[in-house]
Amino acid sequence: MEIVVTALPTHLSVADQHSQRGVDLLAAGEPAGAAQAFREAITTEPAHIEAHHGLIRALRDAEQFEAAIAAALALTVLTPADPLAHTSLSIALQQGGHIPEAEAAAGRARILEWKQQLAMPADAGTDLAGDESHG
């Protein structure tokens, strides 16, 4: 199988370049190589959120579920109020067979999402509760 790596723009940071390589490797069906690229991005820039998400996905695709869970837990520590981080943890836990913990993480993600919605000004987004277009 030939892996096609996208030419990286020179204006990207080193961490972004590693992360983009990880995305390309994931797309090529090479999750182990992608995980290594995402780890390199995180080593270069520990707060590179996209690289953390990419690492979790690559580890899940490689069926390294316990490592994916550990990576997702690290992301929830880095971004404790991010619903997507908790959703990623929930998915990794579910795939790893930790169903009660997965359900708890999914619940945390929903609560965080609701908190974000409640914190938004009323005119900043669609009022889902008052949206009459669905019925």
pLDDT digits (tens, 9 = 90+) for 104-117: 999 999 999 999 99
Q: What is the pLDDT of residue 131?
A: 46
CATH number among 2.120.10.30, 1.10.730.10, 3.40.50.150, 1.25.40.10, domain 14-122: 1.25.40.10
The model's pTM is 0.80
According to the model, what pLDDT value does residue 121 have? Answer: 85
Q: Is the dihedral of CA 109, 79, 89, 73 positive or negative?
A: negative
Percent of the chain with pLDDT over 70: 83
* Token pair belonging to 118: 């409640």
Of the candidates 59, 44, 67, which has an alpha carbon nearest to the alpha carbon of residue 19? 44
Q: Which residue has the higher pLDDT, 43 or 12?
A: 43
